[in-house]
Amino acid sequence: MDPLLNFENQTAIITGAASGFGRALAIALNQRACQLVLSDIDESGLEQTRKLLTSPEKCKTLIVNVASEEGAETMVKKALDAFGSLTIAVNNAGVAHKQAAIHDLSGEIFDNQFDINVKGVAFGMKHQIRAMLQQGSGHILNVSSMAGIGGAPKGGAYSAAKHAVVGLTRTAAVEYGRYNVRCNAICPFFSPTDILEKGGMGSEENKAKLGIGSPMKRISKIEEIVNVMLLTLSPGNTYMNGQTIAVDGGVSAW
């Protein structure tokens, strides 16, 4: 296997692994020999992910709500107990909200967005960083969004939460770079995962409409995002730190 894509003896935590990007990344890393600790709140989806792995014996699954700090700590403990180290952490679990302009957003929507999309990432980072500092190395990849580096009409609370993820990422990069603990964020444009369905944007007509916003005139395929996650996590990528990686068909170039 090409050493740039050989994850042998590496251990990765992935949150939100029952579906979408998290599932596809778990499969891609496991195919390349990575040991995994996968979590989600969706038990049957998580089990389905495990069934799709090439080497399921290299995988532990946990039901974790990322909004709870205890869950974040448990995941790190599981990685250390089962595999002896934590090389990679991908804080991927996230939720969208029903489309609403800022003047229609409720406190409930903001709470949900910040509990899951911000505290979920922050609690994860807190415990992952502690373990990585002890080891003397580690790489965290947070999943933000194009809504984390630009405005998202009718997605104001989501956009605010995903901007917060970028803030956490950049701060961690500056705080821990000297300890060889790095943190980057990926910022995808739309991709046809369940999150689009749940946000009421999943129809073929709507996906075509969303694609018009990209210079490439289409939304991405799931693997087009996950391949960039994989390349970012490559053992050969050892100096990238604090970056927001837009995978957007050129939207940010407008």
Ligand X SMILES: NC(=O)c1ccc[n+]([C@@H]2O[C@H](COP(=O)([O-])OP(=O)(O)OC[C@H]3O[C@@H](n4cnc5c(N)ncnc54)[C@H](O)[C@@H]3O)[C@@H](O)[C@H]2O)c1
- Asked if 92 touches ligand X (CB under 6 A), the answer is yes
- Asked if 93 touches ligand X (CB under 6 A), the answer is yes
Are the C-beta atoms of residues 147 and 213 closer than 8 Å to each other? no
Convert residues 134-153 into a mask of x (bound to ligand X by CB under 6 A) and - (unbound): ---------x-x--------
Instruction: Candidates 11, 87, 94, 141: give the one binding ligand X (CB under 6 A).
Output: 94
Give the integer Cα–Cα distance in Å for 127 and 73. 6
- Other C-beta atoms lying within 10 Å of the C-beta of residue 53: 18
Instruction: Candidates 5, 31, 42, 99: give the one binding ligand X (CB under 6 A).
Output: 42
179 is catalytic: no
Q: Is 155 exposed, middle or buried (0-12, 13-18, 19+ CB in 10 A)?
A: buried
Give the integer Cα–Cα distance in Å for 83 and 58. 9
Segment near ligand X (CB under 6 A); pick from 30-38, 82-90, 93-101, 227-235: 93-101
Binders in 225-254 for ligand X, by CB under 6 A:
none
> Looking at the DSSP assignment, which residues form a beta bridge with residue 140?
89, 183
Binders in 150-179 for ligand X, by CB under 6 A:
none
- Asked if 124 touches ligand X (CB under 6 A), the answer is no
Residue 111 sits at φ, ψ, to 5 deg, of -60, -45
Counting residues that bind ligand X (by CB under 6 A) gives: 29
CB of 183 to ligand X, least distance (A): 15
Comparing C-alpha atoms, which of 47, 42, 8, 28 is closest to residue 225? Answer: 28
In the complex, which residues of this chain contact ligand X (CB under 6 A)?
15-16, 18-22, 40-42, 45, 64-67, 92-95, 116, 143, 145, 188, 190-191, 193-196
The catalytic residue positions are: 158
